[in-house]
Amino acid sequence: MRELTDLEKNRRNKVDQLRESGIEPYPARCDRTHTSAQAIAAFERAVAVETVPATVAGRIRSIRLMGKVIFAHLEDGDGQIQILLKLDLLGQNILDQFKNFYDLGDFIQAGGVLFRTRSGEITLQVEKITMLAKAITPLPASKETVENGERVVHSAFDNPEARYRQRYADLAVNPEVRNIFRTRARIISAIRDFLDGMGFLEVETPILQAIYGGAAAKPFVTHHHQLHQDLYLRISFELYLKRLLVGGIERVYEIGRDFRNEGVSYKHNPEFTQLEFYMAYADYRTIMEIAETMISSVAETVTGSRQITFRGHPVDLTPPWPRLTLREAIRRESGIDIDDYPTAELLAAAMLEKGLAPKAEKHRGKLIENLLSHFVEPNIIQPTFLMDYPRDISPLAKSKTDDLRTVERFEGFVAGMELCNAFSELNDPQDQEQRFLEMSRSFSEEEEDRHPTDEDYLNAMRYGMPPNGGFGLGVDRLTMLLTNQPTIREVILYPHLRLKEEES
RNA sequence: GGCCCACUAGCUCAAUCGGUAGAGCAGCUGACUCUUAAUCAGUUGGUUGAGGGUUCGAGUCCCCCGUGGGUCACCA
């Protein structure tokens, strides 16, 4: 247990003193009649005909002692409202009690009547004031003022580590952080509305999986004690969702958490929120149209526009998005035409000339992915679909009929990030079995990267799976885009942080 | 995992060449009946992320560790 600071000890003593004088500093009930916004609206509606009584509740965010009068601002979920305590109305005892026992950060309740101050601010003239929850630890100091219509924050609590570790304090003092998460919730609602409107069924599939699959990632491993069985946290929903197509559900989606045991970065968190949907009788071209329609309409619902600004760049999400083959995009950005280098060795040599240092043991598809992430991805600011990917990095996608080395797959890029990934799903059980075999062969040297073959998935597919298109979207990245945040940590409430060494 | 940067009061930040650790806000005491970063006067508060070293003397230089940020690598 951490020792309290002097400031905290001081406040804790106030709790004791309040109790000694018969006041409970943490009462179970309050009787708020208005939020701050409701109170202000009620006063504006009343047009000074009558007095408007109201009881508001919230956190004390500022106090201005003026001798025989005290101004303060309360903050609640709707915003802030000013309160005024006057000596002639409340008496010396109440005023002294406020001065001695009420601090910034305390939750209080204030009842009285609304009026407008000389400077024009709608304010509650307090008749009764009650402590609702005494704060022991002072909030990280921050003061704000409005200058020329701009909100200026002084001494803002902005150390990223402290903010992420103590997100509660971050949210309490930084309203713009609260807004990010409101927007995030609206994004997810908008996605649901969109898909529900198309007749998709939302489902939940296992997070604990005996056999993981559906993506290229290392899993987290856990263990079921009673069953004596290792389990993996899912790295994707894909294989479970597509089984549902076999079961006759034609349109299905899931929004949930994936877990990938890999490096963290400004666009990677070990757990992240993914949307996947699968649609029978659709192929990747149909999915592409749905993707651009969905993302742009979510943007419009949430931000009011299909044109947004991301880190200073105007980004226009209005469909249709440009479509470009992966081969063409790489050729434009790097000068390498991958079709000129049919083997991994030749391609690696060409990449070496361009200043890349590809690992010799990589296979060709991985090298192409390298080219994509190095030359192409950072340069795509406007939304763009890259299509037609190498078969050997797309084991669940259907090959193009005229080119067996290439599959019907696309990824959507915006603002230098991969946002979504989709393909015409492979539904030929023999082909799928073959792909699984190829995968386990080509990675047999690196135990760590090997993925187990999901026999049951093949069983399902042998019952017959309708042709379908599938789609995956990084919800956190979409949120970054629509809230203009430079790192994924800003759009995840509790991003992964290393355990901090405790001092004993 | 590599490299670079940061870590100083509750918060945000200073501290010259290695020479007494400082400011604003918060806190505390007082003045003030329309303030809103209120104002004014006074005042408390520090194991400079941890540990070790060099030195007469270390926030500052060296070593090591921790955490965070950035970047590169990794990510069938």
3-state SS, one letter per residue, for A40-57: HHHHHHHCCCCCEEEEEE
Residue A37 pLDDT: 96
Instruction: Give yes or no for CB of A432 within 7 Å of strand B.
Output: no
In angstroms, the CA of A288 and the C1' of B32 are apart by 68
**Tokens for A462?**
């042998």
Q: How far apart are CA A137 and CA A169, in angstroms?
A: 10
Q: Each residue of A136-152: pLDDT tens digit?
A: 999 887 776 665 555 66
Amino acid at site A10 = N
Among the residue ranges A89-103, A206-220, A343-357, the one predicted with the least confidence is A343-357
Contact of A284 with A410, CB cutoff 8 Å:
yes
Give the mean model confidence (pLDDT) for residues A167-189.
92
Q: Which nucleotides of B are covered by protein (CB under 7 A)?
A: 1, 10-13, 24-28, 31-39, 45, 66-76
Among the residue ranges A131-135, A251-255, A309-313, the one predicted with the least confidence is A309-313
- How much of chain A exceeds pLDDT 70, in percent? 93
Residue A101 pLDDT: 94
Q: What is the mean pLDDT of chain A?
A: 90
| φ, ψ at A416 (rounded to 5°) | 75, 15
Strand B contact residues in chain A (207-226), C-beta within 7 Å: 213-218
Among the residue ranges A61-70, A233-242, A314-323, A438-447, the one predicted with the least confidence is A438-447
Residue A356 pLDDT: 75
Cis omega before residue A320 (within 30°)? yes
SS3 A469: strand
Q: Each residue of A7-20: pLDDT tens digit?
A: 888 999 999 999 99
Q: Each residue of A42-85: pLDDT tens digit?
A: 999 886 667 899 999 999 999 999 999 999 999 999 999 999 99
In angstroms, the CA of A99 and the C1' of B28 are apart by 12
SS3 A75: strand
In 3D space, the residue among A108, A283, A298, A270 whose CA is nearest the CA of residue A194 turns out to be A298
Per domain, the residue ranges of chain A are: 6-138, 146-173, 177-322+382-496
Rounded to a whole number of angstroms, the CA Rg of chain A reads: 29
| φ, ψ at A61 (rounded to 5°) | -110, -20
Maximum alpha-carbon separation in chain A: 89
Instruction: Give yes or no for CB of A149 within 7 Å of strand B.
Output: no
In angstroms, the CA of A65 and the C1' of B43 are apart by 18
Residue A344 pLDDT: 86
Contact of A106 with A73, CB cutoff 8 Å:
no
Q: How far apart are CA A435 and CA A424, in angstroms?
A: 15
Contact of A296 with A258, CB cutoff 8 Å:
no
Residue A146 pLDDT: 62
In 3D space, the residue among A454, A6, A488 whose CA is nearest the CA of residue A266 turns out to be A488
Contact of A139 with A172, CB cutoff 8 Å:
yes
Contact of A370 with A362, CB cutoff 8 Å:
yes
Instruction: Give yes or no for CB of A392 within 7 Å of strand B.
Output: yes
Q: Quick one: which H or E segment has residue A407?
A: strand A403-414
pLDDT band at A250 (very low <50, low <70, confident <90, very high): very high
Residue A345 pLDDT: 86
The label of the residue with tokens 């069953």 reads: A227
Q: How far apart are CA A58 and CA A81, in angstroms?
A: 9
Residue A324 pLDDT: 94
* Fold for the domain defined by A6-138: OB fold (Dihydrolipoamide Acetyltransferase, E2P) (2.40.50)
The answer on pLDDT for A27 being more than 70 is yes
Strand B contact residues in chain A (5-24), C-beta within 7 Å: 5-7, 10
Instruction: Give yes or no for CB of A498 within 7 Å of strand B.
Output: yes
Q: How far apart are CA A146 and CA A124, in angstroms?
A: 21
Residue A3 pLDDT: 74
Q: How far apart are CA A449 and CA A441, in angstroms?
A: 11
- How much of chain A exceeds pLDDT 90, in percent? 69
Instruction: Give yes or no for CB of A68 within 7 Å of strand B.
Output: yes
In 3D space, the residue among A79, A29, A73, A34 whose CA is nearest the CA of residue A53 turns out to be A34
Nearest 5 degrees, angle CA A312-CA A316-CA A322? Answer: 125
Task: Provide the H-helix boundaries in A5-91.
Answer: 6-20, 36-46, 87-90
Q: Quick one: which H or E segment has residue A251?
A: strand A251-259
Q: How far apart are CA A403 and CA A326, in angstroms?
A: 14
Question: What b/e readout covers A133-155, taking b as 16+ CB neighbours within 10 angstroms?
Answer: ebbbeebbeeebeeeeeeeeeee
Q: How far apart are CA A176 and CA A208, in angstroms?
A: 35
Residue A1 pLDDT: 61
- Strands A107-116 and A52-65, sheet pairing: antiparallel
Q: How far apart are CA A190 and CA A449, in angstroms?
A: 36
Give the mean model confidence (pLDDT) for residues A456-469.
96
Strand B contact residues in chain A (323-382), C-beta within 7 Å: 359, 363, 365-366, 369-370, 373-374
Using C1' positions and the CA of A443, the closest nucleotide is: B76
Instruction: Give yes or no for CB of A265 within 7 Å of strand B.
Output: yes
Q: pTM to 2 decimals?
A: 0.92
SS3 A176: helix
Q: Each residue of A392-415: pLDDT tens digit?
A: 889 999 999 999 999 999 999 999
Q: How far apart are CA A235 and CA A472, in angstroms?
A: 12
The answer on pLDDT for A504 being more than 50 is no
Which residues partner with A148 through β-bridges?
Answer: none
Which residues partner with A51 through β-bridges?
Answer: none
SS3 A4: coil
Q: How far apart are CA A91 and CA A500, in angstroms?
A: 50
Contact of A410 with A439, CB cutoff 8 Å:
no
Domain A177-322+382-496: CATH superfamily, name plus number: Bira Bifunctional Protein; Domain 2 (3.30.930.10)
Residue A361 pLDDT: 61
The answer on pLDDT for A279 being more than 90 is yes
Residue A483 pLDDT: 94
